[in-house]
């Protein structure tokens, strides 16, 4: 049995993980005293002891720790961590001495990428980008089956690429217009709350009045129910994210992109909406409008009546007419439904152009967006994976 520790800004998640990557049990705890590293380590110790007693486990083989910051070259300490007091604190040695077992420490996105590669949805994918989307944005890379890192145990600060230079939004590190300043779970929630407050009778407005806060799962439910505010805020979030993804793809040319972290709960909605924005970016307006015509043609060729489609899509015929008249470039969430029903993929949308422009052919042939299987547990399982791998390699 192994321990995975996922250190977040306000809380820690600790889990028991088998050598096959199965999460047996986990506990999440808020860290009240964020200024005392000894107390923080003591909290970890108590949680681990609780988990071991509760699950009647007497022996653990190793501990893995994932943190959001940089890792020093010796892989013993962290820097720019989201728990600042742990910066330069000998976290690896402290845990090793406490439990008398090997401990490994690594950047959280890198670890989650490794966990996904060994036990998740990218098993046997030798080259992929792993994006963790939550209160921050992290990027991990598996290249030729190995973790790719730079000198700082990360691949730089991928979440801080500038996507909107004249934006007034700043991220937690203070940069203006970076992806993290515009597309985190917090910005999505804040924007939804702002809009919900102005419309108390809307779906999210009623939740806000009742509970005084909106959670990510409320927005997800809103997207499923086609609540206009949820759709608008989620689409806006995806638009920024698609710019980030587009830029990373130009640099790394991965075969696959795997999305994890809290936002991955949006599943196929996330995939289709990002795909839609990517299509929008690689195609000219005329080509994009042609997609609308293609849908119409397909509907006629396959003799799909408006009534049939409207039933399938669970929307009114009037609504369907509206989509057809506007083509499909405006109501992105409804494109999602078209994608599902008519089996559209980026590949067959761009196929006709594939030898003309390199960029288009890349997105047509290689762009493969998938959702993490480990989801919210990727941090814990990923952290445990590094120590499992190290011990097995020895």
Q: Point out which residues bind Zn ion (CB under 5 A).
A: 160, 171, 173, 175, 178, 180
Residue 130: how many CB atoms within 10 A of its CB?
A: 31
H or E element, residue 183: none
The CB-of-207 to Zn ion minimum distance in angstroms stands at 30
The CB-of-171 to Zn ion minimum distance in angstroms stands at 3
The CB-of-178 to Zn ion minimum distance in angstroms stands at 3
How many residues are there in the chain?
394
155 vs 171 by CB, closer to Zn ion: 171
The CB-of-362 to Zn ion minimum distance in angstroms stands at 27
The CB-of-109 to Zn ion minimum distance in angstroms stands at 15
Structure tokens at 87: 């910066």
3-state secondary structure 108-130: HHHHHHHHHHHHCCCCCCCCEEE
- Give the separation between CA 297 and CA 327, rounded to whole angstroms: 12
64 vs 244 by CB, closer to Zn ion: 244
22 vs 173 by CB, closer to Zn ion: 173
173 vs 307 by CB, closer to Zn ion: 173
176 vs 306 by CB, closer to Zn ion: 176
158 vs 208 by CB, closer to Zn ion: 158
Q: Are 328 and 215 in contact (CB under 8 A)?
A: no
Structure tokens at 138: 């992290």
The CB-of-44 to Zn ion minimum distance in angstroms stands at 28
Q: Are 6 and 379 in contact (CB under 8 A)?
A: yes
Strand order of the β-sheet with 137-143 is 146-148, 137-143, 128-133, 256-260, 369-371
Task: Collect all residues with Cβ–Cβ distance below 8 Å to 63 and sequence separation of at least 6.
Answer: 2, 3, 4, 5, 48, 95, 96, 99, 101, 102, 103, 104, 387
The CB-of-49 to Zn ion minimum distance in angstroms stands at 38
171 vs 335 by CB, closer to Zn ion: 171
The CB-of-186 to Zn ion minimum distance in angstroms stands at 13
The CB-of-254 to Zn ion minimum distance in angstroms stands at 22
Task: Collect all residues with Cβ–Cβ distance below 8 Å to 210 and sequence separation of at least 6.
Answer: none
The CB-of-170 to Zn ion minimum distance in angstroms stands at 7
- Give the separation between CA 36 and CA 40, rounded to whole angstroms: 6
16 vs 171 by CB, closer to Zn ion: 171
H or E element, residue 93: helix 91-99
44 vs 246 by CB, closer to Zn ion: 246
* b/e 306-327 (16+ beta carbons within 10 angstroms → b): eeebbeebebeeeebeebeeeb
- Give the separation between CA 2 and CA 48, rounded to whole angstroms: 11
168 vs 210 by CB, closer to Zn ion: 168
DSSP 335-380: HHHHHHHHT--HHHHHGGGTTT-HHHHHHHHH--EEE-SSGGGHHH
């Amino acid at each position: 049995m192994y321990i995975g520790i996922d250190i977040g800004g306000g809380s820690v998640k600790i889990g028991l993980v088998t050598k096959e990557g199965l999460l047996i049990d986990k506990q999440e705890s808020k860290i009240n005293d964020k200024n005392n590293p000894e107390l923080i380590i003591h909290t970890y110790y108590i949680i681990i002891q609780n988990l071991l007693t509760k699950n009647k486990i007497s022996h653990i083989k190793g501990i893995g720790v994932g943190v959001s910051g940089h890792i020093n070259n010796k892989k013993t300490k962290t820097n720019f961590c989201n728990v600042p007091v742990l910066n330069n604190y000998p976290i690896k040695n402290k845990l090793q001495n406490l439990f008398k077992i090997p401990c490994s420490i690594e950047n959280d996105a890198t670890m989650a990428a490794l966990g996904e590669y060994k036990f998740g949805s990218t098993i046997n994918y030798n080259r992929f980008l792993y994006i963790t989307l939550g209160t921050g944005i992290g990027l991990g890379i598996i290249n030729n089956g190995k973790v790719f890192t730079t000198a700082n145990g990360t691949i730089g600060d991928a979440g801080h690429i500038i996507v909107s230079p004249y934006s007034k939004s700043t991220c937690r590190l203070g940069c203006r217009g970076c992806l993290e300043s515009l597309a985190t779970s917090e910005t999505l929630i804040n924007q939804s709350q702002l809009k919900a407050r102005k419309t108390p009778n809307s779906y999210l407005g009623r939740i806000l009045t009742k509970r005084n806060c909106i959670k990510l799962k409320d927005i997800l439910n809103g997207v499923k129910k086609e609540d206009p505010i949820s759709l608008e805020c989620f689409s806006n979030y995806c638009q920024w994210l698609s710019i980030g993804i587009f830029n990373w793809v130009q640099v790394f040319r991965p075969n696959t992109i795997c999305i994890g972290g809290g936002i991955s709960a949006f599943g196929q909605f996330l995939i289709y909406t990002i795909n839609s924005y990517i299509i929008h970016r690689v195609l000219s307006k005329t080509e994009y409008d042609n997609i609308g015509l293609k849908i119409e043609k397909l509907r006629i060729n396959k003799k799909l009546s408006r009534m049939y489609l409207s039933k399938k899509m669970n929307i009114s015929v009037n609504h369907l007419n509206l989509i057809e008249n506007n083509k499909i470039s405006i109501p992105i969430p409804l494109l999602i439904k078209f994608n599902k029903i008519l089996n559209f993929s980026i590949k067959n949308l761009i196929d006709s152009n594939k030898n003309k422009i390199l960029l288009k052919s890349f997105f047509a042939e290689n762009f493969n967006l998938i959702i993490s299987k480990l989801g919210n547990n990727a941090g814990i399982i990923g952290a445990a994976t590094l120590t499992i791998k190290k011990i097995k390699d020895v």
